[in-house]
Amino acid sequence: MDTDVDDTCKAGGEGEKGKPIVVLLVGAPGSGKSTFCDQVIRSSARPWVRICQDTINNGQSGTKVQCLKNAARALKEGKSVFIDRCNLEREQRADFMRLGALQVEMHAVVLDLPAKLCISRSVKRTGHEGNLQGGKAAAVVNSMLRKKELPKLSEGFSRILFCQNESDVQAALDTYIGLGALDTLPHGCFGQKNPDAKVQLGIMKFLKKVDVPSNARSNASRGQDSAPPEATEVKNPICEGRGNVSSLSDTAGEEGKISEDLVVDSVNQNSSLNDVPTLAFPSISTSDFQFNHEKASDIIIEIVEEFLHKLGNARLVLVDLTHGSKILSLVRAKAAQKNINPKNFFTFVGDITRLHSGGGLHCNVIANAANWRLKPGGGGVNAAIFSAAGPALEVATKEQAKSLSPGNAVVVPLSSASPLYSSEGVTHVIHVLGPNMNPNRPNCLDGDYVKGCKILRMAYTSLFEGFLSIVRSQEKLPKGSIEKIGSKSSVLLGHSEDAPKIFSLKSDQKIKRDGVYEHERWKKCKGSLNEVGSDINVSRAGKVNANNDNTGSGGSNSKVWGSWAQALYNIAMHPEKHKDDLLEITDDFIVLTDLYPKAKKHILVLARYDGLDHLADVSKEHLQLLKMMHAMGLKWAEKFLLEDASLVFRLGYHSVPSMRQLHLHVISQDFDSKHLKNKKHWNTFTTAFFRDSVDVIEEINNHGKATLMDEESVLLMELRCHRCRSAHPNIPRLKSHITNCRAPFPANLLQNGRLVLAPSNT
DNA sequence: GTTCTAGAAC
DNA sequence: GTTCTAGAAC
């Protein structure tokens, strides 16, 4: 059975001494915690200590502090520890989780057995058989189970094993008994069937002394369950990684070893997490470049901390192939010390090119520990990523930069032709080059850690800066100072409004490169570094968000409209001439179906004010008008939703419309239309060029004008799915993708009522 | 905004 | 050869 395979396999371990383990038993009185510990301790080759609060004080009950003290002492002696107490609530477990800082593995074994069984054991143990005692024991168990909060990986466990019947318990016993001093177990959640059931079915009936036939949790049915059903796999794809773990365990192969490491939030237990922008990055320079791990881990934590607040809910994940990796342990411990939110930054054990398919962790961006030539080869992460991404990555990389100097990073959008994109959902690779401390490699820093640390900081800063630019470009344009937007032809690191400066090392290490930017802060950091002017012109890339401030020649108010652009204006001024084609006419507005709808439902709310040609003309005095247009659009969207509840609507304006006369688009997000034919069509509705009505109203209210995006930039931007943000080479391919893509909408669209859904879908 | 079509890309 | 884009004309 699946569980047997999972639990008895010993991942890796070769040459890597297994760390001491802390196992928190979780279970009601009578669930068999003490028996479990005793059986393991009696038969295991690994040294174990059982910490039991009930007996810790010379056989008398003691305190939690005593338990913690004794546990820490045992761990320091290299012993593994069972924490034998109920641990049913998260809060009760929390203090023990701090033991995780001591370079140990934190496991939970959940004895989630039928309440009936716990109660009857409890009653027997007290030796006070009878209604009163029995009733009391039942009440205690029942009340404890009501408060039960099943442990989660996010609490800091690297492994959680759920047992729901005696055979599960036996399998768990075998697992821990068979665990030698040097063995490790795969990480992740195993055996969970019904995470939400707080009180087991049947307990109330039991209390009423009604004999209940075994319910759905009977052994027979669970035998089949133990191979995770599809729903479980989707919810908790960690389990998917188990196949790899076990199948490769014999060879102790590193490659297939994909498991979740400590501090990871239960990956994808919430499928919406798949949507969170995530950067997976390897530790830079600590492998082949032999950078000191202590120093490197300090720098990682330092720069991560600096960036987390800028990144919003986006996540950074440090990935390493090796389970017992020193750098992961160091970073993990330091992250815990600094109280870094494990939701936003965690470590992960796995192959960076197979995080999604192999580990259930979706990362839209991965970092490559590149070489200065930005070429495949050399082994390690660089070879793996180039190989997994196929030739597409090399081509795309070449477009962005020819080479890279230490401390820099370059963002490369991955085409959908790349397998890394199609099977792993990676949309960008960021190449980053760290300092080299290895004398056998070119440009060694010769032990100069002052310079080395500086460059490593720089490398991480450039990397995260690159990720930040992707996150921002994919969400929406930040208000005010917008730096840049991702586009095929732009390389977007650091602040490049001014003439970009590229730094390089001293002349003996000078590397020719272009299109690579360093973070602002490093421009100040000249010292031994020269600055070299860029040989590429970024003005196109930078020209993304010219705020339309009505100044200069060709200001918005003086825009010249072609004759073909007057159709809406003519309708607004003389609706009676087009009466049959309009959905609704009021004194202020007209509602009509777009002549060339770009989706199943695509209507316009047209303002009837002469002189209000487009959004650039709108100011605070029009606030009420905007609100009324929004309300009108909403009314129609809701009307359409009654006819087809599967539709999702978005209301907004084009930054620079083609047709004269202010009009609000109300468009369903299927984009299922023969009229959607080119890049401009797509990008005007799915990028920051499309200004959500709710945001426009807010901006007009706060600043008196709306942020508008440059018309040309629409054509520079890649074609990306509006749901999963994947990139596609052309319109036909994009269209075939979107007919099938059911990914949730990006998080920013789900906020502030930007999307209008049927009530049942909200 | 669309249509048409040359020629680039595949 | 076919598919797809992008620029001109309207």
How many helices and strands in chain A, by DSSP H and E? 26, 24
Tokens of A343: 């939701």
Q: Residue A512 falls within a domain, yes or no?
A: no
> Which pLDDT score is estimated for A13?
37
Which DSSP letter does residue A321 get?
S
Nucleotide with the nearest C1' to A654 CA: B1
Q: How far is the CA of A173 from the C1' of C1 (A)?
A: 67
Rounded average pLDDT per 10-residue block, chain A, 762 residues = 36 53 90 88 89 79 81 88 88 85 89 78 56 59 76 87 86 87 83 52 31 35 34 30 31 34 37 75 93 94 90 91 85 89 87 86 92 86 90 83 88 85 88 91 87 92 90 59 32 33 28 37 32 28 31 50 93 93 95 97 96 95 96 98 97 96 98 96 95 97 93 87 93 94 94 94 69
Q: What are phi and psi of A189, to 5 degrees?
A: -100, 130
SS3 sequence of A564-587: HHHHHHHHHHCHHHHHHHEEEECC
If asked whether residues A282 and A202 sit together in one domain, one would say no
Which DSSP letter does residue A517 get?
B
If asked whether residues A317 and A433 sit together in one domain, one would say yes
What's the rounded Cα separation, in Å, for the pair A525 and A522? 5
Who contacts A538 (Cβ-Cβ below 8 Å, separation ≥6)?
A: A490, A491, A496, A500
If asked whether residues A266 and A229 sit together in one domain, one would say no
What's the rounded Cα separation, in Å, for the pair A477 and A544? 10
Cβ contact A184:A10 at 8 Å: yes
Q: For chain C, which bases have at least one atom within 7 A of a protein Cβ?
A: 3-6, 10
Is the CB of A441 less than 7 A from some atom of nucleic acid strand B?
no
Q: Which of A431, A466, A485 is the last residue of a domain?
A: A485
Tokens of A325: 């990796």
Angle ∠(A647,A651,A654) on CA atoms, nearest 5: 130
Q: Which of A485, A506, A521 is the last residue of a domain?
A: A485
Task: Scan residues 635-654 of chain A and list those with Cβ within 7 Å of strand B.
Answer: 654
CA distances from residue A664 to A365, A428, A606 in whole angstroms, order as listed:
34, 33, 6
Q: Residue A290 falls within a domain, yes or no?
A: yes
The closest alpha carbon to A307, from A369, A382, A367, A380, belongs to A367
Q: How far is the CA of A716 from the C1' of B7 (A)?
A: 21
If asked whether residues A233 and A266 sit together in one domain, one would say no
Q: Residue A526 falls within a domain, yes or no?
A: no
Structural domains of chain A, count: 3
Q: What is the CATH number of the domain that holds A162?
A: 3.40.50.300
Is the CB of A674 less than 7 A from some atom of nucleic acid strand B?
no
Q: How far is the CA of A681 from the C1' of C7 (A)?
A: 16
Positions of A annotated as catalytic residues are 663
What's the rounded Cα separation, in Å, for the pair A92 and A28? 13
Nucleotide with the nearest C1' to A678 CA: C5
Q: How far is the CA of A229 from the C1' of C10 (A)?
A: 60
> Which pLDDT score is estimated for A379?
82
If asked whether residues A229 and A263 sit together in one domain, one would say no
Q: Is A328 exposed, middle or buried (0-12, 13-18, 19+ CB in 10 A)?
A: buried
Neighbours of A442 (CB within 10 A): 10
Q: How far is the CA of A684 from the C1' of B5 (A)?
A: 24
The closest alpha carbon to A663, from A673, A671, A651, A674, belongs to A651
Nucleotide with the nearest C1' to A597 CA: B1
If asked whether residues A191 and A287 sit together in one domain, one would say no
If asked whether residues A26 and A162 sit together in one domain, one would say yes
Residue A160 sits in which domain range?
A: 2-239
Which residue is the nearest neighbor of C10, CA to C1'? A564
Q: Residue A250 falls within a domain, yes or no?
A: no
Q: What is the CATH number of the domain that holds A305?
A: 3.40.50
Q: Residue A645 falls within a domain, yes or no?
A: yes
Cβ contact A129:A136 at 8 Å: no
If asked whether residues A337 and A410 sit together in one domain, one would say yes
Strand C CB-contacts below 7 Å: A 562-564, 678-679, 715, 729-733
If asked whether residues A98 and A151 sit together in one domain, one would say yes
Cβ contact A71:A96 at 8 Å: yes
Token pair 């300090």 in the structure block, residue: A298
If asked whether residues A186 and A290 sit together in one domain, one would say no
If asked whether residues A235 and A307 sit together in one domain, one would say no
Cβ contact A176:A23 at 8 Å: yes
Q: Residue A747 falls within a domain, yes or no?
A: yes
Relative orientation angle of helices A380-389 and A391-400, to the nearest 10 degrees: 110
Token pair 């490197």 in the structure block, residue: A296
Q: Which of A485, A511, A540 is the last residue of a domain?
A: A485
Q: Residue A528 falls within a domain, yes or no?
A: no
Q: What is the CA radius of gyration of chain A?
A: 30
Neighbours of A358 (CB within 10 A): 22
Q: What are phi and psi of A142, to 5 degrees?
A: -60, -45
Task: Scan residues 149-178 of chain A and list those with Cβ within 7 Å of strand B.
Answer: none
The closest alpha carbon to A692, from A546, A497, A476, A518, belongs to A476
Half-sphere exposure of A404 (CA within 13 A, CB side): 33
Is the CB of A560 less than 7 A from some atom of nucleic acid strand B?
no
Q: Residue A404 falls within a domain, yes or no?
A: yes
What's the rounded Cα separation, in Å, for the pair A356 and A359? 5
Q: How far is the CA of A680 from the C1' of B4 (A)?
A: 17
CA distances from residue A119 to A71, A112, A114, A144, A221 in whole angstroms, order as listed:
29, 13, 9, 11, 23
> Which pLDDT score is estimated for A141?
72
Cβ contact A9:A245 at 8 Å: yes
Who contacts A390 (Cβ-Cβ below 8 Å, separation ≥6)?
A: A417, A418, A419, A420
Tokens of A59: 């056989």
Q: What is the CATH number of the domain that holds A646?
A: 3.30.428.10
> Which pLDDT score is estimated for A361?
84
If asked whether residues A580 and A711 sit together in one domain, one would say yes
The closest alpha carbon to A156, from A407, A376, A347, belongs to A347
Cβ contact A403:A412 at 8 Å: no
Neighbours of A557 (CB within 10 A): 11
